[in-house]
Amino acid sequence: MNEDRQDLRKRILGARDGLTGNDRHEKSTMIMHNFLSLPEMHQWSTLFMYVNFRSEVETLELIKNCLNRRIRVAVPLVDASAVCMIPLLIKDPEKDLVPGYYNIPEPDPGKSPRVEPGEIDAAVIPGSVFDIHGGRLGYGGGYYDRFLLNDAPQAKRIGFAFELQVIEKVPVEPHDQPLDILITEKRIVNISR
């Protein structure tokens, strides 16, 4: 049976939504430790990172950890009219984030300066479904794909996923941007592309 992208997304997100808050937090902490163990982590000065929403892998503790290490952290501000994301630097997630597009926490544009996308060393991105070959299904808007392709092609692309979101092969389309690294609570997968 060949599941279409929408059904696959719905099935996997349903499973992710089924994680308890404790499970999600515990697994997110393991993913954070895996990320912090990356050798290249010590070379990065600017990260682009999503702020978790609903049942996504939690990132707030990682954002704080990176800021404490003096790594600049930019988070996306969605410009729905231009169908794009703008990377804005934050210094304190508790003070600098406000409810934004679809109520997703975003940087307050009045407080947060813009960072040039070319300065971003690595992008930590969410998604619904992943595979170990770099395939990723987002949520259907294409925001991260466009950002990685057009604005920050130099950035190392890192997907955060719970193991239950990883399948054998994601049905990718030409516009889908591949990952360089996939991190779950159980493993780090370096992908050659």
Structural domains in the chain?
5-170 (3.40.50.10420)
Tokens coding 118: 């070319």
| pLDDT (tens place) for every residue of the chain, 193 residues total | 457 999 999 999 999 999 999 999 999 999 999 999 999 999 999 999 999 999 999 999 999 999 999 999 999 999 989 999 999 999 999 999 999 988 999 999 999 999 999 999 999 999 999 999 999 999 999 999 999 999 999 999 999 999 999 999 999 999 999 999 999 999 999 998 6
Distance CA 185, CA 87 (A): 27
Please answer whether residues 163 and 130 qualify as being in contact, where contact means their C-beta atoms are separated by less than 8 angstroms: no
pTM of the predicted model as reported, rounded to 2 decimal places: 0.95
For residue 155, the Cα-to-chain-centroid distance in whole angstroms is: 12
Phi first, then psi: give them for residue 120, nearest 5 degrees: -80, 120
Nearest Cα to 182, choosing from 164, 159, 162, 157? 159
Nearest Cα to 127, choosing from 106, 142, 117, 107? 142
Strand partners for 75: 88
